Amino acid sequence: MKNMYDYINETWNKYYKEKPEEYKQYLIKWRSEPRIFRIEKPTRLDRARSLGYKEKQGYIVVRVRVSKGGMKIQRPSSGRRQKHAGSKLISGQKPKEEIALERAQKNYVNLRPLGLYYLGEDGKYVWYEIIFYDPAIVKN
């Protein structure tokens, strides 16, 4: 027997997998928003509820955008030239989820993270939603 959150999850998967042209409209809108953007309600309610989100005072949801791809080391400007000049693409040492969480925590210092989940990606960015709670209001 399915509960309400199973149906919400099916709807999300339908938009994400079966109707990519409608889902792309979300990504276009999110791309024009700031990198860290507080939203009223979670986009994926089933996922947020499974992490412990409740719609009451003390809980907030933040959408974070992280750029994709590797890092590039700046090319040496003087002196002896190495074979590859140290400018080959290298992978970062942290996962994108951790980077998103750190950036959001810089803006919301007094809040504690409850969890985060994947929203989507395009060719340039990856989006996550992070759920924060206020420890002064919410007693976990």
The tens digit of pLDDT for each residue in 31-49 reads 999 999 999 999 888 899 9
Q: What is the pTM (predicted TM-score) of this model?
A: 0.81
Q: What is the pLDDT of residues 48-99, one digit of tens each?
A: 999 999 999 999 999 999 998 776 666 667 667 666 665 555 667 788 999 9
> Element (H or E) spanning 107, and its range?
helix 96-107
> What gap in Å lies between CA 131 and CA 115, rounded to an integer?
6
> What gap in Å lies between CA 62 and CA 53, rounded to an integer?
12
Every domain of the chain and the residues it spans: 4-75+86-133
Phi, psi of 116 (to 5 degrees): -140, 160
Q: Does 4-75+86-133 carry CATH code 3.30.420.40?
A: no
